[in-house]
Amino acid sequence: MRRTMSASRLLKIVVLGLALASAAMAAQTPAQIGKDIGNKVICLCGCQTSLNDCPMPHCDEKAAERHLISMDLAEGKAEPVILQDLVNKYGERVLAAPPAHGFNLTAWFLPGVGLLIGLFLAITIVRRWHRPAVQAAATPAVPLDGNLRSAVENEMKKYID
């Protein structure tokens, strides 16, 4: 009973925590949203870095993208809408990662599928190669004489590391 109570209390804490986290997310300032978007899109000047990281000075592309984001933020648009506006203007290439729909899904799923196939293969190989432990011989082991035993021990010492 006590354990059930603790579990339910834990669940409540988790739910409350998640609610607070979502509230905190929802309460992001426009500057934070702008920064998040800047990490999710690339600068199209050819630098191949995210908009936030473009090192080019006086970069027209960076300025244009930032301008669009600022305008949208001023209008109170949400992040997904702003991202869509950027895609409408520049195409999907502006996104720093392919959106997970249509053919792009293969980009996201193939590494995972490869990982699983690899895991399956590794397990199959391990199981196929696995040799059951050989049963102990019925006959008792012959005791080593003193000379042979010390020779073996000396030999083994060489490889102790």
Q: Which of 6, 14, 20, 55 binds other proteins (CB under 8 A)?
A: 55
Q: How far is the CB of 4 from other proteins (least distance, A)?
A: 26
Site track 58-97 with other proteins (rule: CB under 8 A), x = hit: x--------------------------------xxxxxxx
Q: Is the Cβ–Cβ distance between 51 and 38 less than 8 Å?
A: yes
Per-residue DSSP letter, 59: -
> How many Å is the maximal CA-CA distance in the chain?
93
Write out the DSSP string of 60-118: HHHHHHHHHHHHHHHTT--HHHHHHHHHHHH-GGGBSS--SSGGGHHHHHHHHHHHHHH
With H, G, I as helix, E, B as strand and everything else as coil, classify residue 139: coil
Whichever of 12 and 91 has its CB closer to other proteins, that residue is 91
Q: Which of 30, 33, 47, 68 binds other proteins (CB under 8 A)?
A: 47
Site track 3-42 with other proteins (rule: CB under 8 A), x = hit: ------------------------------------xx-x
- Alpha-carbon distance of 16 to 23, in angstroms, equals 10
Instruction: Give the bridge partners for 41, in sequence order.
Output: 95
- Alpha-carbon distance of 25 to 43, in angstroms, equals 25
Whichever of 53 and 75 has its CB closer to other proteins, that residue is 53
Residues in the interface with other proteins (CB under 8 A) total 48
Q: Is 108 exposed, middle or buried (0-12, 13-18, 19+ CB in 10 A)?
A: middle
Stretch near other proteins under the rule CB under 8 A, chosen from 4-12, 64-72, 126-134, 144-152: 126-134
- Interacting residue ranges for other proteins, rule: CB under 8 A: 39-40, 42, 46-50, 53-55, 57-58, 91-98, 102-104, 106-108, 110-112, 114-115, 118-119, 121-122, 125-127, 129-131, 133, 157-161
